[in-house]
Amino acid sequence: MPHHVPLIATMVAAIVLAFVFGALAHRLRLSPLVGYLLAGVAIGPFTPGFVGDMQLASQLAEIGVILLMFGVGLHFSLDDLMKVRAIAVPGAVVQIAIATAMGWGLASFLGWSLAAGLVFGLALSVASTVVLLRALEQLNLFRTERGRIAIGWLIVEDLAMVLALVLLPPVSRMLESGGGMDGEVLLSLAWTLGKVALFVALMLVGGRRVVPWVLDRIARTGSRELFTLCVLALALGIAYGSATLFSVSFALGAFFAGMVLNESDLSHRAAEQTLPLQDAFAVLFFVSVGMLFDPAVLTRSPWAVLATLAIILLGKSVAAFGLVLLFRYPLRTAVTVAVSLAQIGEFSFILVALGMQLGILPEEGQGLILAGALLSITANPLLFAAVQRLFPDEAEPLPPADTAPELRDYQALSGHVIVVGHGRVGRYVTQALLAEDRPLVVIDLQRERVKSLQAAGVRAIYGNANAAGILERAGVQGASLLLVTVPDALEGGGVVQQARSVNPSIAIAARAHSDEAVAHLDRTGADAVFMGEREIARRMIDYAGHAAGDGDGDEADGAGVLAAT
């Protein structure tokens, strides 16, 4: 049996080097993304030593994009998309037009044809959804209003690029021949719009019923393996089917698959099951970008590289910044959206590949796009960090009409309970505390949950409990108990440390999913850490003791206890 096959060799080299360079970048206080990109450069064809299979790497990266966009859909409902459509649709369209015009201008200065300028400008106009999601997750901005606007903006960009990929061949022929808008172009446009509309209608009408139903039936089998396979089959199958049958990109197909699955109560479990695969394959995406990069372009065309980078980092970002302010959103929302667009990624590479295939984009154009992608992806985490320093993630005040006067001054409270997170666990905890008439304050990162709680007369704060000032607003200095129900141990540990530094005597209980998470939360200062598997085992053993030793009466009591859990 041969031990050196291209798939295994490429995956092993990519993952091992990504780990090494990523850890080194983290040690130097840089984003691990920089290390992943450098790992790709190291195994690319333009540097000495081992060369990975670029075609295989790009296909593995596409799987990462599919899984990542599926995860986005799991947390991004149709309601979220509709809420930001008023700014995302016109904003993205205008920003694409401005960035394309700037790219066309640079291409004209370099002496390229009109069609080449169009491809070059379109490639610069669209940002990478993968890069954006990584930044939003690391900074806990995923569920904020500005995070939803940025994601909705990029979804509209992706839809626009789907149309561009279909229309580019006939439009490029029209531009090269100097002709006008002919029937072929109009027919291509109508056919593409019809297929996309049919796909969206099928997913929103049929998919919203069928996909959750299938997942629910598989969950009832009790098999973890079957459930994981079902989630992957839905994500990959719908993504591939959408691309094959409806000419929709893999990424958009996976996004809609996740969005319809969001209708199911099992969406959180599906997200947890696919998270490790998302992380692993997303790393391969960045490695594949690095493999395409030829460092020689930096010395061969330095001024053209700088001009390309300026369009990506400044040109389209300034345009987006102005558009968001024009819609009367806060300054920090405008800055966040602007920085979100200050990079290019997967669709840019697809457009470049099509331009090369049609023979309209010169080889220099491919080099400039790849250089701009690598440099902008490297710079993007630094820009986000700067935004966070300028605009700390403080709680965004809700409109006065949504907040009763008696719920405003939480800092004056004493002896109350603070519940961080109002998800599956936090919701049950809050209900139990309210049933006991215990005073409490809930902190959550979803505005709709906070509005619902406040409408019901519950003290609630919208914001990230890790951000400066949020725990203080909840009155942590006078609270008697802090319950951290968020599933992320790193996020929970940060909350525990902040609370302990402000109020050393407060009792703190936290939630964990693994032995490592338990140890981490213990180190950060939690008094009690509860892990689901341990608690289930403890209650089952307790029930078994009652059932075996105390007869029917105690068995009934044990069954009641078990039901209560």
| CATH number, domain containing residue 283 | 1.20.1530.20
SS (H, E, C) 314-373: HHHHHHHHHHHHHCCCCHHHHHHHHHHCCCCCHHHHHHHHHHHHCCCCCHHHHHHHHHHH
Is 409 within a domain?
no
Residue 405 forms part of a structural domain: no
Find the Cα–Cα–Cα–Cα dihedral 442, 443, 448, 453, rounded to 10°: 10
Contact 71, 22 (CB under 8 A): no
Angle 69-70-75 from CA coordinates, rounded to 5°:
95
Please indicate whether residue 148 or residue 490 has the higher confidence score (pLDDT): 148
To the question of pTM greater than 0.75 for the whole model, the response is: no
- The mean-pLDDT minimum among 60-64, 360-364, 520-524 falls in 60-64
Q: What are the residues whose beta carbons fall under 8 Å from the beta carbon of 175, sequence distance 6 or more?
A: 113, 114, 115, 118
- Positive or negative, the CA dihedral 242, 246, 251, 257 is negative
pLDDT, residue 182, reads 60
Q: Is the pLDDT of residue 185 over 80?
A: no
Q: What is the mean pLDDT of residues 394-402?
A: 43
CA distance 254 to 198: 16
Q: Please answer whether residues 37 and 289 qualify as being in contact, where contact means their C-beta atoms are separated by less than 8 angstroms.
A: yes
pLDDT tens-digit map of 251-298: 778 878 887 877 666 666 677 677 777 778 878 877 887 887 888 888
Strands 507-512 and 440-444: unpaired
Distance CA 391, CA 370 (A): 31
Whether residue 406 is contained in a domain is answered as no
In a domain, 535, yes or no: yes
Contact 432, 482 (CB under 8 A): no
Asked if residue 81 and residue 216 are part of one domain, the reply reads yes
Helix, strand, or coil (residue 379):
helix
* Two structure tokens written together for 218: 């598989």
Tens-digit pLDDT profile for residues 38-86: 898 899 888 888 888 878 887 887 787 787 778 767 766 666 667 778 8
Q: Which domain holds residue 369?
A: 4-390
Residue type, 47: T
Q: Tell me what pLDDT residue 406 has.
A: 34
Provide the 10 A C-beta neighbour count for residue 438: 13
> Are 40 and 14 within 8 A, CB to CB?
yes
In a domain, 112, yes or no: yes
> Sorting pLDDT into bands at 50, 70 and 90, what band is 397?
very low
pLDDT band of residue 407 (cuts 50, 70, 90) is very low
Boundary-marking domain end, from 355, 374, 390: 390
Cβ within 8 Å of residue 113, ≥6 positions away:
175, 176, 360
pLDDT band at 416 (very low <50, low <70, confident <90, very high): very high
Same domain, 488 and 359: no
- The enclosing domain of 427 has a CATH number of 3.40.50.720
Burial class from Cβ neighbours inside 10 Å (0-12, 13-18, 19+) for residue 539 reads middle
Contact 475, 441 (CB under 8 A): yes
Is residue 239 domain-shared with residue 92, that is, in the same domain?
Answer: yes
pLDDT value at residue 104 = 93
Q: What type of residue sits at position 348?
A: S
Query: Quick one: pLDDT band at residue 418, thresholds 50, 70, 90?
Result: very high
Question: What is the average pLDDT across 359-376?
Answer: 87
- 61 and 148, same domain (yes or no): yes
Q: Are residues 212 and 97 in the same domain?
A: yes
- For residue 240, is it within any domain? yes
Domain shared by 347 and 206, yes or no = yes
Mean local confidence (pLDDT), 479-497: 87
User: What secondary structure letter does DSSP report for 221?
Assistant: T
**Same domain, yes or no, for 352 and 294?**
yes
Could you tell me the two tokens for 529? Answer: 């850490």
**179 pLDDT tier (thresholds 50, 70, 90):** low
Which pLDDT band, with edges at 50, 70 and 90, does 354 fall under? confident
pLDDT score for 100: 92
The side-by-side arrangement of strands in the sheet containing 528-531 is 460-462, 440-444, 417-420, 481-484, 507-512, 528-531
Q: Is position 395 within any domain?
A: no
Beta-carbon count within 10 A of 303 CB: 7
What is the Cα 93 distance to its own chain's centre? 22
The whole-number pLDDT of residue 178 equals 61
By 3-state DSSP, what share of the chain in percent is helix, strand and coil, each rounded to 5?
70, 5, 25
Residues 375 and 447 in one domain: no
Angle at which helices 114-125 and 85-109 cross, to 10°: 140
Residue 103's closest CA among 344, 402, 328, 307?
307
* Closest to 266 in 3D by CA, of 213, 200, 229: 213
Residues 249 and 383 in one domain: yes
Rounded Cα distance between 429 and 240, Å, is 41
Cα separation, 413 vs 282, in Å, equals 45
Would you say 469 and 395 are in contact if contact means Cβ atoms under 8 Å apart?
Answer: yes
pLDDT band at residue 470 using 50, 70 and 90 as cut-offs: confident
**Among residues of the chain, what percentage have pLDDT more than 70?**
86
Report the pLDDT value the prediction gives residue 4, as an integer from 0 to 100.
56
Helix (H) or strand (E) holding 106: helix 85-109
On whether both 363 and 427 belong to a single domain, the answer is no
> Average pLDDT in the 486-502 region?
85
Q: Is residue 527's pLDDT more than 90?
A: yes
Average pLDDT over residues 222-237: 84
Same domain, residue pair 349 and 244: yes
| 307 and 432 share one domain | no
Q: 100 or 515, which is more confident?
A: 100
- Contact in structure between 498 and 471 (CB atoms under 8 Å): yes
Q: Which region, left, alpha or beta, applies to residue 128 given φ > 0 means left and ψ of -120 to 50 means alpha? A: beta
- Residue 306, domain member (yes or no): yes
pLDDT score at 176: 63
Q: What is the mean pLDDT of the chain?
A: 80
Tens of pLDDT along 450-464? 888 888 889 998 777
Number of domains in the chain: 2
Average pLDDT over residues 538-549: 80
Please determine, for residue 482, whether its predicted confidence score (pLDDT) is greater than 90: yes
The answer to whether the CB of 76 falls within 8 A of the CB of 148 is yes
**H or E element: which one contains 419?**
strand 417-420
Q: Which of 42, 516, 14, 51 is nearest to 280 (CA)?
A: 14
CA distances (Å), origin 450, targets 412, 439, 491? 20, 16, 19
Check whether 558 has a pLDDT greater than 70: no
Is residue 217 within 8 A of residue 211, CB to CB? The reply is no
Distance of CA 273 to the CA centre of its chain: 16
